[in-house]
């Protein structure tokens, strides 16, 4: 037990004042002798004034009341690892509040967001006098409060958080902002250490998950202590199980021409978070087009597992692109309802824009690097909706640089898939723009060859490559031997999403006849499990042949052999066409294609053209968007999950002329974009993680840090209880005296 205001304990000395006043102030009886006393009988009773304490119980109660009140003013604390913990000495602190979608999880009828608000009150009350405090909320749009004294700023922080939580226009959104991403803003308020050596602390209020408090370091910038304040559980203890909930993790669609020219197949992945390991849960979902329900499906889901669910629908009578939604039904009491529905745009004609950078062009068509690749794509299921164009490396670099002056010339605008076919690594400035587009959702396919330099690709595309390149080798090369043998391809990895729907029981390995492929040369890669790469196809030696990785909202695939006949006979095999088609479809569907353009809640959507737009939101609000000069338009009001429609504004139609205006009337104006805003599926991962007790790293701001939990609230309640008891005792004594007189 300790106290934050020890001088207040001097008030306990005041408990003796009532007794001292009584002892010093009472009148002592004096003996007065006079003549008449001689005639009084000695045995007569002597009557004197009563001068002793008559109500000892009442006096004790009042003294105890004063003692407890003094203790409250002294602010007692005890060492604790509870949820709310503060430094005992005055310090500079910033409260970092989690605003992500996972804070909507309801536990015992209350959301983690409400619990965080309660923790904030406890934290502000617990901060010692003389401290300074500020506020940062992980949502970049949310208000912030700069660092000032606790006496002035506590009320401002409470008002800012209450106003933000109650706002219907600028309040909490279902975004995916991690606390680690917002930490630099919090440490930025604390700044560099000044001449006054005060401890600096970040109090992080959030849920005890991997993307919440689990994403934070114990010490930031080598000197700032980060103290987690969990909405559930305590520091140093194993997390309690979170309530079971179900959500839609993925949603995409693909044409089903084998059923009908207008048929579509919608795939959903249902995930069950938590639950009893031995019991499967029956989940029902509905497919809705517009306001009309067109189908239902059921699936059994095991605990902490995925289950695939599919709908097939034929678009009879629907024109253009259709709003679709899949939602889970029958689970109105789900603790986390934000992931119970997902949206997408459906279309019979879903064009795929592919840009190929040809690293080894040739006048002889059969010897051209991309001859087999372009032929395979043109004759595949993508053929009718494929827009394929090619550039050389120099042309790509020139046009990307020209786009810096005129964004309308950007060769990457609207591209769903970029392919580098045995192309040298473009210059660093162009490579940076390509990587940025990949992170925004564009697919990237790299096939190697003699013109590919491992050093250049690693230096310029290392951030997005599935694995770093090592060197090109001949198959089966051993010391003293060259080209000892060729390398075959192993069966495809049917678990990879590129090959979804194929059956391993097929003699041709799910319609991909690649077993007879022979490769004479390949690129080896540097193993690195931290990159999270997935092997879709491997050589018989186990070396990756086709390896993929997610990069931001985009996808990257690396083929470690050539797409022509220089290093092997892969393009001559029947399985080459479905391999290329499936790979291109999967890569392009990260942003466009079968999934549609998907933007996270709160993220910025880059529109394709540098022109004014009007964007219609899910609630029917029309938002004008005006781009900066020379830059593509960007739409930032992605607050609600659902369908968004971006149409060129009046200024763009007038600038395009009469022909564009006519096409606008027909609903075919170029530049119309449709996209979906969705909740990041990672926010559904609400499993708790154990949070270590707070420690200060050696060499930090303070040699030792004492963590305390306030205890004066309980004493304040005791003061109220004693006041009640004192009133009851006084009433009882008054009634007893009244009865004695009568």
580-629 per-position pLDDT tens digit: 988 988 888 654 444 457 889 999 888 877 789 999 999 999 999 998 87
Q: Is 488 exposed, middle or buried (0-12, 13-18, 19+ CB in 10 A)?
A: middle
CA distance 637 to 213: 27
What's the rounded Cα separation, in Å, for the pair 252 and 584?
15
- The ranges of the chain annotated as CATH 3.40.50.410 are 89-241+686-705
Going by C-alpha positions, the residue among 81, 82, 83 that lies closest to residue 231 is 83
Pick from 269, 278, 338, 327: nearest CA to 299: 269
Q: Sign (positive/negative) of CA torsion 712, 717, 720, 726?
A: negative
Sign of the CA dihedral running 655, 660, 662, 668: negative
pLDDT band for position 642 (cuts 50, 70, 90): very high
Residue 140 pLDDT exceeds 50: yes
Q: What is the pLDDT of residue 366?
A: 79
- Rank 38-42, 473-477, 516-520 by mean pLDDT and report only the highest: 516-520
**Could you give the percent of the chain with pLDDT greater than 90?**
42
Could you read off the pLDDT of 345-386 as tens digits, one per residue?
A: 987 655 688 999 999 888 888 788 889 998 888 877 666 667
Concatenate the DSSP letters of all residues of 479-530 into one string. TT-SS---EEBPPP-TTSGGGTT--TTSTTTTT---TT-EESEEEEE---GG
User: Cα 37 from chain centroid?
Assistant: 98
Return the pLDDT at 409. 76
Using CA atoms, how far apart are residues 610 and 738, in angstroms rounded to an integer? 92
Domain 352-588: top CATH class: alpha beta
Cβ proximity of 563 and 570 under 8 Å: yes
3-class DSSP state of 49: coil
Question: DSSP state, 214?
Answer: G
pLDDT in tens, 454-481: 999 999 999 999 999 999 998 865 555 4
Average pLDDT, the chain: 82
Q: 677 and 600 in contact (C-beta within 8 Å)?
A: yes
Half-sphere exposure of 442 toward its Cβ, with a 13 Å CA cutoff?
23
**CATH architecture label of 89-241+686-705:** 3-Layer(aba) Sandwich (3.40)
Residue 589 has a pLDDT of 67
**Secondary structure class of 103 (helix, strand, coil):** helix
547-560, pLDDT tens digit by residue? 999 888 789 999 99
Q: Which of 35-49, 71-85, 470-484 has the lowest mean pLDDT?
A: 35-49
Q: Which is it for strands 443-447 and 554-559: parallel, antiparallel or unpaired?
A: parallel
Pairing of β 352-358 and β 386-391: parallel
d(CA 604, CA 440): 10
Structure tokens at 561: 């052999």
pLDDT at 153: 94
In whole angstroms, give the CA distance from residue 420 to residue 416: 14
CA distances from residue 599 to 437, 452, 559, 636, 677 in whole angstroms, order as listed: 14, 33, 28, 10, 5
Q: Is the pLDDT of residue 317 over 70?
A: no
Q: What is the DSSP letter of 157?
A: H
Give 409's strand partners.
none
Query: What DSSP element (H or E) covers 740?
Result: helix 712-741
CB 521 within 8 A of CB 477: no
Residue 671 has pLDDT above 70, yes or no: no
Q: Where along the chain do the CATH 3.40.50.880 domains lie?
A: 352-588
Q: Residue 434 and residue 453: Cα distance in Å, rounded?
A: 18
Q: Does domain 597-681 have CATH number 2.60.40?
A: yes
Neighbours of 151 (CB within 10 A): 12
**CA nearest neighbour of 556 among 374, 418, 699:** 418
Query: Taking the mean position of all CA atoms in its chain, how far away is CA 500?
Result: 27
Label residue 387 by pLDDT band (50, 70, 90): confident
Those residues with Cβ within 8 angstroms of residue 18's Cβ, 6 or more apart along the chain or in another chain: 59, 62, 63
The CATH fold of domain 245-348: Immunoglobulin-like (2.60.40)
């Amino acid at each position: 037990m300790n106290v934050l205001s020890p001088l207040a304990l001097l008030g306990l000395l005041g408990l003796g004042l009532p007794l001292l006043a009584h002892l010093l102030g009472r009148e002592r009886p004096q003996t007065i002798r006079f003549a008449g006393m001689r005639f009084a009988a000695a045995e007569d009773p002597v009557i004197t004034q009563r001068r002793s304490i008559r109500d000892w119980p009442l006096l004790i109660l009042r003294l105890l009341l004063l003692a407890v009140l003094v203790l409250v003013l002294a602010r007692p604390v005890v060492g604790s690892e509870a949820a709310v913990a503060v430094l005992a000495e005055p310090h500079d602190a910033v409260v970092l509040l989690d605003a992500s979608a996972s804070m909507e999880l309801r536990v015992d009828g209350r959301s983690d967001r409400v619990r965080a608000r309660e923790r904030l009150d406890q934290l502000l009350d617990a901060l010692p006098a003389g401290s300074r405090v500020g506020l940062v909320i992980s949502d970049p749009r949310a208000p912030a409060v700069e660092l000032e004294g606790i006496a002035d700023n506590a009320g401002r922080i409470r008002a800012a958080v209450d106003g933000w939580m109650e706002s219907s226009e600028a309040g909490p959104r279902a975004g995916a902002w991690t606390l680690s991403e917002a930490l630099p803003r919090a440490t930025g308020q604390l700044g560099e250490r000044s001449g006054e050596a005060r401890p600096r602390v970040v109090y992080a209020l959030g849920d005890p998950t991997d993307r919440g408090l689990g994403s934070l370091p114990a010490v930031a910038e080598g000197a700032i202590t980060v103290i987690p304040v969990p909405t559930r559980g305590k520091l140093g203890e194993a997390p309690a199980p979170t309530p079971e909930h179900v959500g839609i993790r993925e949603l995409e669609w693909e044409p089903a021409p084998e059923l009908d020219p207008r048929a579509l197949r919608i795939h959903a992945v249902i995930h069950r978070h938590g639950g009893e390991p031995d019991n499967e849960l029956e989940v029902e979902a509905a497919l809705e087009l517009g306001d009309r329900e067109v189908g239902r499906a059921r699936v059994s889901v095991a605990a902490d597992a995925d289950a695939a669910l599919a709908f097939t629908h034929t678009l009879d009578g629907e024109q253009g692109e259709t709003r679709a939604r899949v939602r889970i039904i029958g689970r109105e009491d789900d603790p986390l309802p934000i992931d119970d529905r997902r949206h997408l745009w459906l279309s019979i004609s879903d064009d795929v824009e592919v840009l190929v950078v040809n690293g080894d062009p040739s006048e002889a068509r059969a010897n051209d690097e991309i001859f087999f690749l372009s032929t395979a794509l043109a004759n595949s299921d993508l053929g009718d909706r494929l827009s394929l164009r090619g550039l050389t490396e120099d042309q790509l670099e020139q046009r990307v640089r020209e786009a810096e002056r005129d964004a309308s010339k950007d060769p990457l605008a609207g591209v769903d898939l970029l392919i580098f076919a045995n192309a040298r690594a473009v210059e660093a400035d162009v490579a940076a723009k390509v990587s940025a587009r990949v992170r925004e959702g564009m697919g990237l396919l790299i096939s190697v060859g003699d013109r590919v330099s491992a050093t250049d690709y690693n230096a310029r595309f290392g951030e997005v490559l599935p694995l770093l390149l090592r060197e090109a080798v001949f198959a089966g090369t051993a010391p003293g031997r060259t080209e000892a043998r060729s390398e075959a391809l192993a069966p495809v990895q049917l678990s990879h999403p590129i090959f979804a729907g194929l059956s391993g029981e097929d003699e041709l390995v799910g319609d991909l006849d690649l077993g007879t492929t022979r490769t004479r040369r390949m690129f080896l890669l540097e193993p690195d499990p931290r990159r999270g790469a997935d092997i879709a196809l491997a050589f018989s030696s186990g070396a990756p042949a086709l390896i993929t990785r997610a990069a931001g909202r985009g996808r990257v695939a690396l083929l470690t052999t050539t797409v022509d006949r220089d290093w092997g006979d892969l393009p001559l095999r029947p399985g080459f066409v479905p391999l290329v088609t499936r790979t291109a479809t999967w890569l392009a569907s990260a942003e466009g294609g079968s999934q549609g353009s998907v933007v996270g809640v709160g993220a910025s959507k880059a529109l394709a053209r540098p022109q004014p737009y009007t964007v219609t939101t899910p609630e029917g609000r029309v938002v004008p968007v005006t781009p900066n000069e020379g830059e593509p338009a960007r739409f930032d009001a992605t607050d609600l999950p659902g369908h968004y429609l971006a149409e060129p504004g009046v200024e763009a139609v007038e600038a395009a002329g009469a022909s564009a205006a006519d096409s606008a009337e027909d609903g075919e104006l170029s530049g119309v974009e449709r996209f979906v805003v969705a909740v990041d599926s990672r926010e559904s991962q609400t499993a708790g993680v154990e949070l270590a007790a707070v420690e200060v790293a050696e060499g930090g701001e303070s040699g030792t840090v004492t963590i305390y939990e306030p205890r004066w609230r309980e004493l304040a309640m005791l003061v109220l209880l004693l006041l009640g008891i004192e009133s009851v005792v006084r009433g009882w004594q008054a009634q007893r005296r009244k009865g004695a007189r009568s």
